[in-house]
């Protein structure tokens, strides 16, 4: 009996500590991000719920490709929503290999968001090595897509490893709270991922909720202008 009671109390505590994410009021532009973890998304239903932008996981490391990236990317290309693609970055892994993994699969078009480098693991590297590796891939992506990439990270990692080193890049900061991100170098966030237990019709299970720090017109100005098709490889190409 004691074991059963303890199990129930533990479950209740976990639920209380990790509540459903409620949509934040006071922000004009809302978005979500997805990967294969969301499985099959009914985009026609999901996009009726005040969603202005969607980030999609494309790749990770040197060789991993998200199994649903192409399907989601192409589906959003046929709908009236701003889309973006992100790469889950490993600072200890070959920069060239990660660059090739992403660019071989992601073709960015007019009105797409800049490429995103998602850095949320350190791989045991020092702050200096992490910053150097991140700068290398950011520069390579900027040269390829002709636009400054976005950096995604959480508030703690940014303040500990990245502060004062990337002031020229738009930031997408994860802070699961109703209080906006606080970056100790004074850099302002562009996107804020404020929760990972959002609930929307059209997707089974949880989904990340985000807001943009500005108007919809400002978000559109952040997107990619017309590109020369020769600079990137179609996202439908597979190895």
User: d(Cα 208, Cα 38) in Å, to the nearest integer?
Assistant: 10
Q: Are 148 and 168 in contact (CB under 8 A)?
A: yes
Look at the alpha carbons of 85, 43, 206, 62 in this order and tell me if their dihedral is positive or negative: negative
Q: Which of 224, 227, 226 is nearest to 112 (CA)?
A: 224
Which among 42, 44, 74, 120 is annotated as catalytic? 120
Tokens linked to 153:
């990270």
Q: Which helix (H) or strand (E) holds 221?
A: helix 216-222
Which among 33, 60, 112, 208 is annotated as catalytic? 33
User: d(Cα 210, Cα 3) in Å, to the nearest integer?
Assistant: 39
Beta-bridged to residue 208, according to DSSP, are 33
Is 33 a residue of the active site? yes
Q: Which of 117, 133, 119, 61 is nearest to 84 (CA)?
A: 117
Is 120 a residue of the active site? yes
Tokens linked to 41:
């998304």
User: d(Cα 211, Cα 149) in Å, to the nearest integer?
Assistant: 18
* Residues recorded for the chain: 239
> Any residues with CB less than 8 A from the CB of 211 and at least 6 apart, and which?
24, 27, 29, 30, 31, 191, 192, 194
Residues serving a catalytic function are 33, 120
């Amino acid at each position: 009996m004691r074991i059963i009671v303890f199990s129930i109390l533990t479950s209740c505590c976990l639920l209380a500590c990790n509540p459903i994410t409620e949509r934040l009021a006071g922000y004009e532009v809302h978005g979500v991000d997805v990967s294969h973890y969301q499985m099959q998304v009914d985009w026609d239903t999901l996009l009726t719920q005040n969603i202005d932008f969607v980030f999609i996981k494309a790749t990770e490391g040197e060789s991993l490709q998200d199994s649903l990236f192409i399907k989601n990317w192409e589906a959003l290309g046929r709908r009236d929503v701003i889309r973006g693609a992100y790469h889950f970055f490993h600072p200890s892994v070959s920069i060239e290999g990660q660059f090739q993994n992403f660019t071989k699969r992601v073709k960015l078009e007019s009105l797409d968001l800049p490429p995103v480098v998602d850095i949320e693991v350190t791989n045991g590297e020092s702050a200096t090595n992490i910053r150097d590796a991140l700068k290398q891939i950011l520069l390579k992506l900027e040269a390829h897509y002709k636009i400054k990439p976005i950096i995604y990270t959480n508030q703690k990692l940014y303040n500990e490893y990245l502060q004062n080193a990337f002031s020229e890049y738009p930031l997408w900061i994860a802070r699961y709270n109703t209080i906006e991100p606080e970056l100790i170098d004074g850099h302002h966030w562009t996107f804020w991922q404020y929760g990972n237990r959002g609930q929307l019709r059209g997707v089974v299970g949880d989904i990340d909720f985000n807001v943009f720090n500005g108007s919809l017109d400002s978000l559109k100005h952040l997107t990619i202008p017309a590109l020369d098709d020769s600079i990137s490889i179609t996202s439908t190409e597979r190895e």
